[in-house]
Amino acid sequence: MSLLKAFDINHLKVSCTKCNLRELCFPHGMAEDDMSNLESVVDQPKPIHKNEYLYRDGDEAKALYAVRSGCVKTMAESSNGEEQIVGFHMPGELFGLDGFAEGVHTCNAVALETSSVCELPLNKLEMLCHELPGLQKQMRRIMGKEVSSDHRLLLLLGKMTSEERLASFLLSFSRRMQERHWKEDEFNLMMPRQDIANYLGMAVETVSRLFASFQNDGLIKVDRRHITILDMNQLKVMVGECENS
């Protein structure tokens, strides 16, 4: 590859219209025209390394982010320094909406592995919203989705046993794999047990024991972070999504 070509890469515009994540990401359901306009404000995907912070609690909110590859976790921080993971964001998923209230982020965003994220600068996004009614609607949908997903997590933390929580986590993960046209019953978790435990509001040891117990009961096969779901139906029964025994 010539030096010139290597240089060119940095000047390539993002193409939402050609991105294979467009059906999952911001553009989902948007008109072709609006999508083209959108890509003109999206900054070149930014690579971030494992454990690197994209933003921190208190930072000025400059953009909305979309995961292009890898995985990013967002976590809320309490006054006494404790952290609660509020989301794991997979390719095509958006995050950073917490900064919309006061223009300042209220949580931390950290890469779980080397990842790349598209940045949608808020000022440009705002301007574009004035011109494109479709984009405005899209924004509302995205925020609504965030609220709904937070509610689901509240229900999980407030009302479920740890067994139900882990089952629910695995099912949600599987569903998102499926959305991405990856295997829904065999995947690698990109987060350590510690993070799963934190997210589900329990101790690491409990996560370990539950993985072992699920495996024992023939629901899943666990090999480190590689999970194979053997009895999807039974998992659904556990979280009340499915009536049959």
Partner DNA sequence: GATAATAATTGACATAAGTCATGTCTTTTT
Partner DNA sequence: AAAAAGACATGACTTATGTCAATTATTATC
> Which residues contact its own copies by CB under 8 A?
76-84, 86, 97-102, 106-107, 126, 129-130, 133, 136-137, 139-148, 150-155, 157-160, 198-199, 201, 239-241
- Tell me the number of residues near DNA by CB under 7 A: 20
Under rule CB under 7 A, which residues in 220-239 are in contact with DNA?
222, 224-225
Instruction: Tell me: does residue 203 bind DNA (CB under 7 A).
Output: yes
State the nearest-atom distance from the C-beta of 87 to its own copies, in Å: 10
Nearer to DNA, 30 or 238 (CB): 238
Binding partner of residue 239 among its own copies, DNA, none, CB under 5 to 8 Å per kind? Answer: its own copies
Pick from 8, 33, 60, 205 the residue near DNA by CB under 7 A. 205
Binding partner of residue 172 among its own copies, DNA, none, CB under 5 to 8 Å per kind? Answer: none
Nearer to DNA, 121 or 201 (CB): 201
Do the Cβ atoms of 105 and 157 come closer than 8 Å?
no
Of 133, 127, 120, the C-alpha closest to 16 is 120
- Residue window 119-158: x/- pattern of binding to DNA, with contact defined by CB under 7 A: ----------------------------------------
State the nearest-atom distance from the C-beta of 72 to its own copies, in Å: 16
CA distance 154 to 141: 20
- Exposed, middle or buried: residue 151 (CB in 10 Å: 0-12, 13-18, 19+)? exposed
Nearer to DNA, 134 or 201 (CB): 201
Binding partner of residue 129 among DNA, its own copies, none, CB under 5 to 8 Å per kind? Answer: its own copies
Q: In the numeric block, which tokens belong to residue 32?
A: 């072709």
List residues binding DNA (CB under 7 A).
Answer: 161-163, 192-194, 201-209, 211-212, 222, 224-225
